[in-house]
Structure 1
Amino acid sequence: MSADFKTPFRYTGINSEEAGFLTHHYQQRGYRMRKYLNEDVRLWDVAMSMRIELPFPPSVNHYWVRTARRVYLSEAAKRFSRLTAAAVAEVQRQYGHRRSFPGDVSVALTLYLPDKRVRDVDNYPKGVLDALTSAGIWADDAQVRSMPFQNKTRLTQS
């Protein structure tokens, strides 16, 4: 059976043998591939995953500056966007591909809090997604279909 959707990043609805071959093939070339059971339990999905570590993002409350005439990115947001672009370029170089993800994507966002202040979890993802869009990881953050999100306290070395 042929896959429902094939790109260099994702294969859906393939049999176990194809899934095993693709996972092995891409892993041998340094890609992080995962094999998932499809909705049809006889079939598999294989997808590429990337881990991109970014600096702590500015809160959405400090991401944009509003004046009487316009809205623009704050200096903190511009700096975060530049650092994100550099991190994305480095990860794309490591994984050996330069193209953006063409279809739907899933983003697992883990926010490591820099201190013990109480923060609203919904104040950070928008800026991160916008910075990743600007860096060219995908064409539009509307491609994100799933985004599990969690806050963690960074463990310090004692």
Structure 2
Amino acid sequence: MITSSELSVALDSWSNVVTQEKATLLVTEAFLSLPERPNLAIYRIEYIDGTVDYGAWRRNRINIFQRWRKRRTNEQREKFDALRPAILAAIEKDNAGLFKQLTAGNSIEFLVSRLLKESTEAINASLLGASVTDVDRECEEAARAISALQQAYRHQQRHDH
């Protein structure tokens, strides 16, 4: 299971790619679609008629990113943990690769599938006549995937024996 600190780091890195504003919108939508919502100060941003409540958007962003994600107090930790299902659902909807990495972690199965994906991309780039820069990048990604698999496997073996 992913820890709160790992989820906080993932939320931060994901929001750096999509922006805090988009991440706030996606987390809010996921939160509002939960069958059972915890009592959190998360407000509807977009309405059916297309209107946008920018004040709610700002308040949600501040609560999610400036307060709860930091997890400095017990209350902040509790609220961040209560928001966990919505954060995971939003990440899964927007970035399936990151979601798989979060939920599968460094499992051998996940790392093998990542290695297969990266090596296939390197092979395809070279066979399809991609630029040297593109082939180099794909090969470097495959090499990182090999290294991650080696490290995880060694770590697992040390702890299994």
State the TM bucket, normalised to the shorter chain: under 0.3
Larger Rg: 2
Please state which structure has a larger fraction of its residues in strand: 1
Please state which structure has a larger fraction of its residues in helix: 2
* TM superposition score normalised by structure 1: 0.22
